[in-house]
Amino acid sequence: MVRNYIANHAADADARYLLGLVLFRENKPADSLAVYTQAARLRKPVAENLRTVSLDYVLLNDYPDAERWIKYALSLDANDAEAWYQLGRIEYTLNRFQDSLSAFQRSLALDPASVKAENNLGLAMEGLNRIDGAVAAYRKAIAMQADSTSPSEQPFLNLGKVLVDRSQLDEALPLLERALAIAPHDWKILEQLGRLKTEKGDLAAAARAFELAIAIQPQSASLHFQLGQVYRKSGEAEKAAREFALVQQLQGTHSTPER
């Protein structure tokens, strides 16, 4: 519809910016950027347009350019909570955890009800090894969405993972089960349940969790290795050997699983 409109209204900048957004939503970042370039010749982009340009570069795995454009967007509108959140995600991916933390704090100052910003604040704190602060952020994010009809599984998963790391298994279990109920095809949740069941000594349940995770993410060497360890502990030597062979194949190395 937008292309048809543009065919008869070639000078309409808003229509071209809309087409760029549609192409981004269709996961066509290169095409989206090309259209945004055309639109910019007709009208200077506003902050909202530049946010999408930044996300196009995220999809292209070009984080330096993604960072450049989101900072440009913020130079035009420093009160955009979503743009600060987006900058936080980019900085986090670049392992700049302090910058990421600062961006999420700015986002929350503008939108205190943002569950995703609070959850990602916890991730940034984890990156800085401020684990108690991360736990507090995850708990707050969970509380913030207590009445939501479509809660995010992420704070349940992230808090559950920290608690598994701390061997607080009984507290972690209902959190991970809640996360799985929300997102039953998330392999990361199944992985943490596999870890938890392994720690509890329920090897059959651990194997099932890792098997389900691998069915979703078959190229993960880590999942195959963890499943191999469970099989070995269960006395299933042939299955364990098969998983460890897959680990070597996926990693492209000749190291042994024990290393």
pLDDT at 3: 94
Q: In the numeric block, which tokens belong to residue 210?
A: 């890792």
Q: In the numeric block, which tokens belong to residue 227?
A: 């499943």
Which ranges of the chain does DSSP label H, i.e. alpha helix? 2-8, 13-25, 29-42, 47-59, 63-76, 81-93, 97-110, 115-127, 131-144, 154-165, 169-182, 187-200, 203-216, 221-233, 237-251
In contact, 209 and 194? CB cutoff 8 Å: yes
Dihedral sign, CA of 139, 55, 112, 115? negative
Query: What's the pLDDT tens digit per position in 72-89?
Result: 999 999 999 999 999 999
Query: What's the pLDDT tens digit per position in 34-74?
Result: 999 999 999 999 999 999 999 999 999 999 999 999 999 99
Cα Rg of the chain (Å, integer) = 22
The count of residues in the chain is: 259
Instruction: Label residues 66-90 b or e (16+ Cβ within 10 Å = b).
Output: bbbbbebbbeeeeebbbbbbbbbbb
Q: How many Å apart are CA 108 and CA 33, to the nearest integer?
A: 29
Q: Which residues of the chain have pLDDT under 70?
A: 253-259
Instruction: Label residues 213-249 b or e (16+ Cβ within 10 Å = b).
Output: bbeebeebbebbbbbbbbbbeeebeebbeebbebbbe
Q: In the numeric block, which tokens belong to residue 138?
A: 């995850």
pLDDT at 259: 37
Angle between helix 115-127 and helix 131-144 axes, rounded to 10 deg:
170
Q: In the numeric block, which tokens belong to residue 243?
A: 């998983």
Cα 243 to chain centroid, rounded: 27
Residue 192: name the closest of 13, 28, 80, 200 by CA: 200
In contact, 196 and 172? CB cutoff 8 Å: yes
Angle between helix 13-25 and helix 29-42 axes, rounded to 10 deg:
170
